[in-house]
Structure 1
Amino acid sequence: MEAFLVSTGVVALGEMGDKTQLLAIVLAAKFRRPWPIIAGILVATLANHAAAGALGGWVAHALGPDLLRWVIGLSFLAMAGWMLVPDKLDDDATTNRQRFGVFGTTVVAFFLAEMGDKTQIATVALAARYADVVQVVLGTTVGMMLANVPAVFLGDKIARKVSMTLVHGIAAVIFAVLGVLTLLNIGRLF
């Protein structure tokens, strides 16, 4: 349960103000059809994070416990720093919108936007950190949905009321704590 809760919380916070959240707002404004957008976000996230989780599980097995602890700990600390770098939406994220319809466009755009994104890298690190890859993937997916579904429905209203700097700062602290705990070889957080 710890893997699920930590994964959910870290990704939900990390996604606030992220380019995929901005993409959700853009798609919602463009298509004005929230349910196919939400379904597309879910499918893209499950596919992307399942691949990232599998990679994290493989990394955990391949590196061995001592080297893995250092790689994961330093990765979490790097993620803490990366959280403090603001995201902006890439112009090419919605280039295929006419070919695939609302659902297809969302799947393609979100899958591509997540490639190498903070949350994908976090999913790899979390899956390497926790033995239960399924719980990590489910948690990161729930975290993505918690951040992006409200963006689809409320979009710019949320962005004007919530300090993204504060949210990213909180996410950075969580990643830093995870990194330090991992480097100190403290196995459980709760």
Structure 2
Amino acid sequence: MKEIEELLQIFGAAGHPDLAAALENISKITFYQKGEKLYEIGEVQSKVYLLLDGILRCYLINDTRSDITDCFMSDRFMAANSADFFIESNRVPSFVGMEALTDASVLEIDADPLFVVLQRYPQLARIYAHCLQNALNFQNEINYKRLYLSGKERYAWFCEKWPEVDRIASNRQIATFLGIRSEYLSRLRHPKKK
């Protein structure tokens, strides 16, 4: 599978055909249609999801049972699992859900066999650590922008980071992600012509 080879190449673990074969045996590429869920809130994740192509949206439900966007993902090989998946030693129900915002292809690796392979091939630890570091850096960037920028600056950052998402996501999805009111976002997205 060329995606496995590419993943190993990126993280300096190429040149191990037995490692590539072990990963191929526990992996598959799944195609998700726009709106289709990778996993739902409350579901126990049993796979590592690595985005290959497309855009994903992570969401949660607030105390009024409204859907809130936690983040958008568009980077190749970004892990689309919730943080608790990587931290908890026992699988726990996910507090977030993940859906395809566009048609997407995802490399899915069965988690339990992956952790066995991790024990046999220390080269994989670098990939695992990289996924954790990327997830932490990604979440820190989002939190910093949402906490310290004005609504207008948040939207400008969002448009720079995800111009394609601005074209396809709903006003509500973007507004809940940025932590601003939908009406205010509408004024930012569609200023009146003078």
Normalising by structure 2, what TM-score?
Answer: 0.31
Structure with a larger share of its residues in strand: 2
Normalising by structure 1, what TM-score?
Answer: 0.31
Structure having the higher Rg: 2
